[in-house]
């Protein structure tokens, strides 16, 4: 049987496509909606499962829907799992040959902001004791080490407001740092791992240069070592001389020759230092790490553990180089004839280098839609009752939009498509009377002050103003309840979530003609959900629990065309009670 792999590139592609469809100019309209104001069938102590049935993802969603708010570009972020740095925790190190899915190879550290670091080396699988800090590194640093031997790469920071809007207990947002991205180096050698430490690496020596040690005989590649260096010719051949402090710090060169003549112990380097050391410079000789591959410029040295049989403790990268797509590393240095040689392995960074594509490098396959329902949103959504379900709806159609027109040229035809070119909004002409044009199946957002045109009549007009379903408001929210003006017929009043019905009598038989569930009533309007059948105005409804009776006067349908658009996500949860003194932030995490 064939073996298949759905790569992280495809998962990230899906994340990016969805995010871009919110941000791009010809964008789709996404709404976060809430619903289920009634207690769950089995009670609120048990949250029911969801299925991908047509009933659940279409009909029931619209039946349960109460209101929604449009998503803006600032409401969407790519997300990765949240791994807080905790002292004493073992963190995985980035490895190019390892599936990093579900591995903790990066951390978030709370400082002034929330800073994210990738672990490049974990000191031989040791616990992390010292937290990485933005105060010790920067966006253009290749990497840096903490006192516990961990090597970290700073990736990006999340400001506190963005963190509060998007972060959850399990996820954090990705906020790419353009400076980190700009400083990424493709094909660099950032880490060389010691797989086997070997032994008997005797070429280790440290001291300080004197004035006469430098440029022996005027030659910038020749240096005399201290008197206690080895007395054997060629002893340091193939090793590495590294400036550990003082002038020229951080430079290193391979030793190509070592000659002992009396008290003079002279090394010859492969080339001159860019900054020539002086008597303030301390140096260290250790085994050289030969790096070969299709790139260039990578330089490294091995650090010897003299306390444990002169084994290789670690490999330090001096220069990362660039352009490598394959690479090998070998430790060279005097082992006194021993064949117990170390085995080291170079680790290449991700495509483009560490920090070039943060979403991919940290395994992003989730997207967060974070929307806050701020009280009534300007009296366009209800604050009564509660909800138990949230979801994401794409490209719904508005049922009734009334455009007040000016500068009319021609007559619009009922049924034709009306387009506003500037906004891209369209709708179907349902009624046209003088300066009022009523549209249904509206897609997009009509704007005042812009021209519209009929596709069949070619009539044109400017939109002076508009209302959505009889209410002066924009398209940023919708109310999916059925609205009726009413007067009470008796002294009782309806309860929230009460079942109400309307009956009809035919041939002496009384039957229910239409029914629904009370979401809210305010003395002028009664708002119903779960309406089935037809609730006729100029007729009464009766409350099943209270016995209240009301005369229905005028009807306003839900804002959206029932069943339009695509329900992309549904989540059942615990009851959330609304109030005119609070706001609720809904965070929907979608996984790919």
349-353 mean pLDDT: 94
- pLDDT for 331 equals 95
177-184 mean pLDDT: 95
450-455 mean pLDDT: 97
User: Taking a C-beta distance cutoff of 8 angstroms, is the pair 83, 107 a contact?
Assistant: yes
d(CA 442, CA 269) in angstroms, rounded, equals 77
Above 80 in pLDDT, residue 258? yes
- pLDDT for 254 equals 96
- pLDDT for 4 equals 83
Report the share of the chain in percent with pLDDT over 90.
Answer: 85
Cα dist from 146 to 85, 122, 136, 462, whole Å: 13, 10, 9, 65
Give the mean pLDDT of the chain: 94
135-158 mean pLDDT: 93
- pLDDT for 339 equals 64
For the beta carbon of residue 421, count every other beta carbon within 10 angstroms: 10
Contacts of 334 (CB under 8 A, 6+ apart): 201, 202, 203, 235, 236, 237, 238, 239
- Of residues 13 and 335, more confidence is placed in 13
For residue 42, name the pLDDT band (cuts at 50, 70, 90). Answer: confident
526-537 mean pLDDT: 94
Above 70 in pLDDT, residue 337? no
Dihedral sign, Cα of residue 444, residue 448, residue 451, residue 456: positive
Cα dist from 284 to 297, 315, 541, 569, whole Å: 21, 14, 93, 61
Above 70 in pLDDT, residue 338? no
- pLDDT for 388 equals 96
377-397 mean pLDDT: 95
For residue 26, name the pLDDT band (cuts at 50, 70, 90). Answer: confident
- pLDDT for 340 equals 75
User: Taking a C-beta distance cutoff of 8 angstroms, is the pair 495, 546 a contact?
Assistant: yes
Residue 83: Cβ-neighbour burial (10 angstroms; 0-12, 13-18, 19+): buried
Above 80 in pLDDT, residue 126? yes
Residue 71: Cβ-neighbour burial (10 angstroms; 0-12, 13-18, 19+): buried
Number of alpha carbons in the 13 Å side-chain half-sphere of residue 178: 0
Cα dist from 490 to 458, 497, 519, 543, 547, whole Å: 54, 19, 20, 11, 9
25-49 mean pLDDT: 92
Above 70 in pLDDT, residue 131? yes
The pLDDT tens digits for 290-316 are 999 999 999 999 999 999 999 999 999
- pLDDT for 510 equals 77
Minimal CA–CA distance to 207: which of 304, 282, 306? 282
Above 70 in pLDDT, residue 122? yes
238-249 mean pLDDT: 96
Report the SS3 class of residue 422: coil
d(CA 176, CA 357) in angstroms, rounded, equals 8
Minimal CA–CA distance to 118: which of 104, 131, 134, 106? 106
Report the SS3 class of residue 64: helix
d(CA 375, CA 578) in angstroms, rounded, equals 8
pTM, two decimal places? 0.88
Above 70 in pLDDT, residue 361? yes
């Amino acid at each position: 049987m064939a073996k298949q792999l759905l790569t992280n590139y495809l998962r990230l592609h899906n994340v990016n496509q969805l995010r871009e469809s919110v941000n791009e100019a010809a964008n789709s309209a996404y709404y976060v909606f809430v619903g289920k104001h009634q207690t769950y069938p089995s009670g609120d102590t048990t949250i029911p499962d969801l299925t991908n049935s047509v009933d659940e993802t279409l009909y029931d969603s619209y039946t349960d829907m109460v209101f929604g708010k449009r998503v803006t570009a600032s409401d969407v972020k790519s997300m990765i799992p949240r791994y807080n740095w905790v002292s004493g925790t073992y963190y995985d190190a980035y490895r190019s040959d390892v599936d990093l899915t579900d591995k903790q190879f990066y951390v978030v550290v709370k400082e002034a902001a929330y800073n994210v670091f990738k672990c490049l080396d974990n000191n031989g699988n040791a616990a992390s004791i010292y937290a990485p800090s933005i105060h010790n590194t920067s966006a253009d640093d290749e990497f840096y080490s903490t006192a516990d031997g961990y090597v970290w790469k700073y990736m990006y920071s999340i400001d506190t407001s963005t963190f509060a809007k998007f972060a959850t207990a399990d996820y954090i947002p990705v906020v790419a740092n353009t400076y980190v991205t700009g400083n990424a180096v493709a094909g660099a050698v950032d880490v060389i791992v010691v797989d086997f430490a070997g032994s008997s690496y005797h070429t280790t020596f440290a001291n300080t240069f004197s004035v006469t040690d430098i440029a022996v005989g005027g030659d910038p590649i020749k240096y005399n070592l201290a008197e206690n260096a080895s007395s054997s010719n060629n002893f340091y051949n193939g090793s590495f001389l590294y400036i550990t402090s003082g002038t020229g710090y951080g430079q290193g060169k391979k030793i190509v020759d070592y000659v002992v003549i009396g008290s003079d112990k002279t090394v010859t380097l492969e080339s001159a230092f860019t900054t020539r050391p002086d008597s303030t410079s301390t140096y260290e000789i250790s085994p050289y790490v030969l790096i070969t591959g299709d790139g260039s410029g990578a330089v490294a040295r091995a650090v010897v553990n003299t306390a444990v049989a002169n084994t290789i403790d670690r490999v330090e990268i001096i220069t990362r180089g660039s352009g490598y797509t394959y690479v090998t590393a070998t430790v060279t240095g005097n082992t006194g004839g021993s064949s117990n040689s170390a085995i080291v392995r170079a680790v290449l960074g991700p495509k483009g280098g560490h920090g070039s594509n943060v979403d991919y490098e940290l395994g992003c396959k989730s997207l967060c839609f974070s929307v806050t329902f701020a009280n009534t949103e300007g009296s366009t959504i209800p604050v009564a009752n509660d909800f138990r379900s949230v979801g994401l709806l794409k490209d719904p159609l508005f049922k009734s939009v009334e455009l007040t027109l000016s500068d009319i040229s021609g007559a619009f035809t009922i049924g034709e498509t009306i387009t506003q070119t500037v906004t891209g909004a369209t709708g179907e002409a349902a009624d046209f009377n003088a300066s009022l044009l009523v549209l249904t199946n509206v897609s997009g957002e009509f704007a005042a002050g812009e021209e519209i045109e009929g596709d069949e009549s070619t009539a044109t007009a400017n939109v002076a103003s508009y209302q959505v379903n009889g209410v002066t408001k924009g398209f940023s929210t919708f109310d999916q309840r059925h609205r009726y003006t009413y007067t009470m017929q008796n002294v009782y009043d309806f309860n929230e979530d009460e079942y109400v019905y309307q009956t009809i009598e035919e041939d002496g038989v009384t039957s229910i003609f239409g029914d629904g569930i009370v979401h809210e009533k305010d003395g002028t309007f009664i708002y119903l959900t779960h309406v089935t059948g037809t609730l006729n105005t100029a007729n009464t409804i009766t409350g099943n629990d209270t016995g209240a009776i009301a005369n229905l006067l005028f009807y306003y349908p839900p804002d959206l065309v029932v069943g339009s658009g695509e329900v992309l996500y549904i989540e059942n949860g615990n009851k959330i009670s609304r109030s005119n003194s609070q706001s609720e932030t809904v965070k929907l995490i979608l996984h790919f």
